Chains A and B, each alone.
Chain A
């Protein structure tokens, strides 16, 4: 592993997790083992991060690994998104949060009465630079 599982995000991360979401991940890992996220698009519960045990959802060439979450006491949690969707998301930093709720396709936190949710902010200038997006048009940074 090149990235250190230290507190605080690694230098080049574009994803993070809130404390509440990290607690839920640890809770779920006790039942399901190693976990991953795939960011959904589309209807109903779409535009939400879906949490699965590793191996349940088959990631393919159409997906991109957008980051890895390092949660104390857990194996790294990889976060994927479809490449086509990432084209529209690449200027944003994503934080996975947890809210009260229910229903999320087959995402494993639903029975807990909770729902993982994405909070977004625009990448700042130094982050855009670091991700090679600094000269790219299309956003008002």
Chain B
């Protein structure tokens, strides 16, 4: 797959004779099984939730309940924050070398358990195991290694202000930070936040999404012995009962959230009460722009562009940067769209544990219902349905799962399906006349997280990429997520960045020592 780099592709080759269909977790021949129950993880041990309650967790693959998870509340969050501060007394003073070694060991442990983690993530979220094996887990592994390297290489600063005066700048950890994780990439999105925070020397209270609360515990149990008690605490539960108490907790020093705009605003509101920094990743409605010269030849590049068109279906469209608006230049529109639809027809939908499956289940029933409601409004608004448009019933035990056909609507950019994040495999397609028209349409959105531009002309590619108001513009590619490239939003898509060394800034304080080496007084008094 193109979403991984060469190094991770080599890692992927590791399991010899991998099965073509993985057995359901917990059944004969399965590579992993979930525990029947997961408690909160606080201070280095699993502890029952303060109120004794649990909630049931279904797999979107079949709709069946497979485990139950602690329904944490404010009392559990308090306990976790306290455990974090206790651990910070020593963790915050560890050397960068010690922390980097731990991050690398976590990566090694994950690599040795790639299939186990991939199957757990697929069962939890519904995404194809092909993606978890080749993208989610390898990217998460690489993320730990990347930040292990970054923290070793990071330097402070020394400024010689005059002959006797020096300013030293040191990086210091913030303390205990809160992190609220989305459900679309439960392990990878957790690692995006965990790796830089740990590398920088912070302790963490993490709340997984209530739709996908379990796979992070499968991961944790693999690496638990590598982290000192209290450095990472996980409180499961619902947003209102556990997420809000975490985001508003007076003793956290930073809150990071990936989700939607209303909750993002609420989290900023809490952060303003406590005067703490906040990073927000709030999604988008990413344009994918295909200029006419893409079709100059029917060559390998054209084939690549057709794959780019079809990338709206990756991860069932449940990606903040889903290229959910395709803008195709009018002069090639008919031919390119026809070829694109042929490619969409080849997207294989099926059991997510089958390695040949390309599109799996939506993560939850409410997600499925929301996608169907958007298909309905798309039709009402007069958008033309070109392919798909319905729930998919895959038969057998999969009938209870949440499957949607890859869907393409043709319409105008003012329609709601062009403006709102559906978070499903639904593409809104329209045409443009020229460069200015393309940029105008691309930027006619409230959001600015991702974008794609496709052209054989380097200058056109460059100009368009700079003109589109989005934090990440994939140019002649899409859906690559290397650790060393900054990711984050313009406009209503959020504040701050993830990935890249600059992410360390979001988890560090700057300490300035201003030192005078002069022997005598300044002379004022």
Chain A residues within CB distance 8 Å of chain B: 38-48, 50, 56-58, 82, 84-85, 88-89, 92, 99-108, 110-111, 115, 117-122, 138-140
Question: Nearest chain A CB to B199's CB is how many angstroms away?
Answer: 25
Q: Any chain A CB within 8 A of the CB of B14?
A: no
Asked if B492 is at the interface of the complex by the 8 Å CB criterion, the answer is yes
Which B-chain residue is minimally distant from A110 (CB atoms)? B238
Roughly how many angstroms separate A138 CA and B419 CA in the complex, as a whole number?
13
List the B residue with the shortest CB-CB distance to A59: B265
Find B263's partner among A39, A47, A106, A140 (CB 8 Å cutoff).
A106
- Indicate if the CB atoms of A40 and B263 lie closer than 8 Å: yes
B258 adjacent to A88 (CB under 8 Å): no
Q: Which of B71, B265, B377 has the most CB of A within 10 A?
A: B265
Contact status A101-B416, CB under 8 Å: no
For B238, list chain A residues within 8 Å (CB): 102-103, 110-111
Min Cβ gap B146→A in Å is 24
Set A42, A44, A50, A101: member contacting B184, Cβ < 8 A: A44
- Tell which of A40, A85, A121, A140 has the most Cβ of chain B within 10 Å: A40
In the bound complex, residues from chain A placing their C-beta under 8 Å from that of B241 are: 111
Q: A41-B261, A57-B265, A139-B381 are in contact. Are A47 and B244 (CB under 8 A)?
A: no
Q: List 5 A-B contacts (CB under 8 A).
A: A41-B283, A42-B283, A44-B318, A105-B259, A139-B414
Residue of B nearest to A121 (CB): B380
* Distance from A15 Cβ to chain B, minimum over Cβ atoms (Å): 15
Q: How large is the interface on B (under 10, 10 to 19, 20 to 34, 35 or more residues)?
A: 35 or more
A-B residue pairs, 9 tightest by C-beta: A101-B366, A43-B283, A46-B260, A105-B263, A42-B283, A40-B262, A140-B382, A115-B366, A42-B260
Shortest Cβ distance from A49 into chain B, in angstroms? 9
Whether A57 pairs with B269 at a CB distance below 8 angstroms is yes
Instruction: List, in ascending order, chain B residues with CB within 8 A of A39's CB.
Output: 262
Mask: chain B, 299-336; 1 = CB below 8 Å from A; 0 = not: 00000000000000000001010000000000000000
Cross-chain contact of B210 among A50, A110, A139, A140 (Cβ < 8 A): A110
Q: For the complex, is B211 an interface residue (Cβ under 8 Å from A)?
A: yes
Asked if A57 and B262 sit within 8 Å, CB to CB, the answer is: yes
Q: Is B420 an interface residue (CB 8 A)?
A: yes
Task: Indicate if the CB atoms of A99 and B416 lie closer than 8 Å.
Answer: no
Task: Check B447 for interface membership: any CB of A closer than 8 A.
Answer: yes
Chain B residues closer than 8 Å to A103, beta-carbon distance: 183, 209-211, 238-239, 364, 366
Docked complex Cα distance between A101 and B314 (Å): 23
Contacts of A140 in B (CB 8 A): 381-382
Asked whether any CB of chain A lies closer than 8 Å to the CB of B97, the reply is no
User: Most chain-B CB neighbours within 10 Å: which of A58, A84, A104?
Assistant: A104
Given contacts A41-B446, A110-B240, contact A122 B381 (CB under 8 A): yes
Which residues of chain B have C-beta atoms less than 8 A from A56's C-beta? 266
> Within the assembled complex, what's the spacing in Å between the Cα atoms of A56 and B269?
10
Within 8 Å CB of B370, what residues of A? 47-48, 117
Q: A50-B263, A117-B366, A120-B416 are in contact. Are A42 and B282 (CB under 8 A)?
A: yes
Chain B residues closer than 8 Å to A122, beta-carbon distance: 380-381
Q: Is B160 an interface residue (CB 8 A)?
A: no
Interface string of B248-269 (1 = CB under 8 A from A): 0000000000111111111001
Residue on B nearest A50 in the bound complex, by CB: B262
Scoring B residues 197 to 240 as 1 if CB is less than 8 Å from chain A, else 0, what string do you get?
Answer: 00000000000011100000000000000000000000000111
